[in-house]
Amino acid sequence: MAQNGRGARGTIPPKMMEYERQAEQRLREQEQMAAEQDRMADAQAKIQAEQDRIAQEEYEMEQYYEGEALKHAEEMRLHQEEVRRHQGMLLPQLLLFSGKD
């Protein structure tokens, strides 16, 4: 008779061997799936890090160009002020020389 799921001579019945083989196969498949999920998570993390880096660079570029535009606008304002001041100084002199007092 069989004892503890073993055949009469202490061998494992074919049905039990098949269950064990299937269980081992499922375990290998689960391990493979877990490894693949880890690889996918790593790839996703790398993609996210790259997207974050690009977004930071874009922000820094926007800040730089905004700063440069403000500097340029201030330089233009100062230049126009200087031109007006110069024109204001020249106008009375031109009137003096033209004789149209």
Q: Please state the rounded mean pLDDT for residues 27-48.
A: 98
Predicted confidence at residue 11, as pLDDT, reads 86
The tens digit of pLDDT for each residue in 1-27 reads 445 555 556 788 999 999 999 999 999
pLDDT tens digits for range 66-85 = 999 999 999 999 999 999 88
Cα dihedral sign, 42-44-45-46: positive
What 36-42 contacts at long range (C-beta under 8 Å, 24+ apart), as own/partner pairs, is none
Alpha-carbon distance of 80 to 83, in angstroms, equals 5
Give the pLDDT of residue 88. 77
Angstrom distance (rounded) from CA 77 to CA 89: 18
